[in-house]
Amino acid sequence: MGRMEYFLEIFFGGLTRGSIYALIALGYTMVYGIIQLINFAHGEIYMIGAFTALIVAGVLGSLGMPGYAILLLTLPIAVIYASAYGFTVEKIAYKPLRSAPRLSPLISAIGMSIFLQNYILLAQTADFLPFPNLLPYFDLPDFVGGILTSSEVTIVITAALVMAGLTSFIKFTRMGKAMRATAQNQRMAMLVGVNVDQVISLTFIIGSALAAIGGVLIASHIGQINFYIGFIAGIKAFTAAVLGGIGSVPGAMLGGLVLGWTESFATGYVSSDYEDVFAFALLVLILIFRPAGILGKADSQKV
């Protein structure tokens, strides 16, 4: 393989990873934007989305359903379930702590993350489970055949469409405006008649739905899942969110891509042993040197 082809393969690999990170990062960034909480359990929501998809696809497959029908049913069910989990987690672990000291909901979120991981571990299994490839297969033109696969194309296009949808939702709908208002100033939003509880719930639901889509896509692509995938993916997506500027929706998308490429190129050209170290190191470096991220604004504390 030529050097250029190797480069392009890594480039598209990074783009694929990056789109997934971006999808999950959106959940972190939206929640942070609205209630200033690092939703530590968000990675677990993504994992639960993938698990639900695995179970549903398994059941449908045993009924002898064709592949595209399985995908069309599995994806919405996974999305609904992940959203339901996201919604419930907020009600149990975060809502009662809205006026508590800042670290309390974070500790609660860490607890929730551990709880959900072990819930899956106990109710399902600790082993890696092979995940069926639900993504449609199609022939690519010859000149790109060696560089990228059809599932990569599907992932990137799906992620782009979803993010475009989200952006227009936030920009143009009434609810989207309410979300932006709440993010800017919760008390003012409440005073002008925004139902803040509803906005927060919706934020969790949307974030979880995006995570589930990401989960199903990447699980199909990689081909296996276990109860622990949410932890690493969660931290990486959080890194992406911080990288782009936490609280900023375009920032999360940009951050996801930057992280995806960083990882791909670092593992492709430097060393694959330290794959996760690159992401963690990037996280540490950004937080130290530019905590506001690429697109974020530095916030000053009020006295």
Partner 1 sequence: MQGLKKSLLTAVWFMFLTFPIMVIRVNTIEKTIVWRWENLALVGISVFLLSYVWRFLMSRRERGNKQNAFATDDRAQAFRALIEDRRIRYSLIAAFAIFVGVFPFLFSMYQVNIMISALIYIMLGLGLNIVVGLAGLLDLGFVAFYAVGAYAYALLNLHFGLGFWAVLPMAAVLGAFVGILLGFPVLRLRGDYLAIVTLGFGEIIRLVLENWGTFTRGPSGISNIPRPDLFGLEFGLQGRIIYMYYVVLALVLFTIAVVTRLKYSRIGRAWMALREDEIACQAMGIDKTQTKLMAFSLGATWAAMAGVVFAAKTSFINPASFTFLESAMILSIVVLGGMGSTVGVILGALILILLPEYLRAFAEYRMIVFGAIMVLFMVFRPQGLIRDRRLKRRFHPAESSKGAEAVPTGEGMARGAGSHG
Where do contacts with partner 1 occur on this chain (CB under 8 A)?
36-38, 48, 51-52, 54-56, 58-59, 61-62, 81, 84-85, 88, 92-93, 96-97, 100-108, 110-125, 129-132, 231, 235, 238, 242, 273-274, 276-277, 280-281, 283-284, 287-288, 291, 301, 303
Nearer to partner 1 (CB atom), residue 6 or residue 115: 115
Residue 224, helix vs strand vs coil:
strand
Q: How far is the CB of 212 from partner 1 (least distance, A)?
A: 12
Q: How far is the CB of 35 from partner 1 (least distance, A)?
A: 12
Question: Among 145, 147, 151, which residue's Cα sits nearest to residue 133?
Answer: 151
Q: Which long-range contacts (CB under 8 A, 24 or more apart) does 87-90 make?
A: 87/201, 87/204, 87/205, 87/208, 89/41, 89/45, 89/116, 89/204, 90/200, 90/201, 90/204
Asked if residue 85 lies in contact with residue 61, where contact means CB atoms within 8 angstroms, the answer is no
Nearer to partner 1 (CB atom), residue 129 or residue 153: 129
Q: How far is the CB of 248 from partner 1 (least distance, A)?
A: 16
Nearer to partner 1 (CB atom), residue 176 or residue 255: 255
Q: How far is the CB of 7 from partner 1 (least distance, A)?
A: 25
Q: How far is the CB of 193 from partner 1 (least distance, A)?
A: 26
Nearer to partner 1 (CB atom), residue 4 or residue 123: 123
Using DSSP, how many helices (H) and how many strands (E) does the chain show? 12, 2
Residues 6 or more apart whose CB falls under 8 angstroms from that of 206 comprise: 27, 30, 83, 166, 169
Nearer to partner 1 (CB atom), residue 102 or residue 187: 102
Quick one: DSSP state of residue 126?
A: S
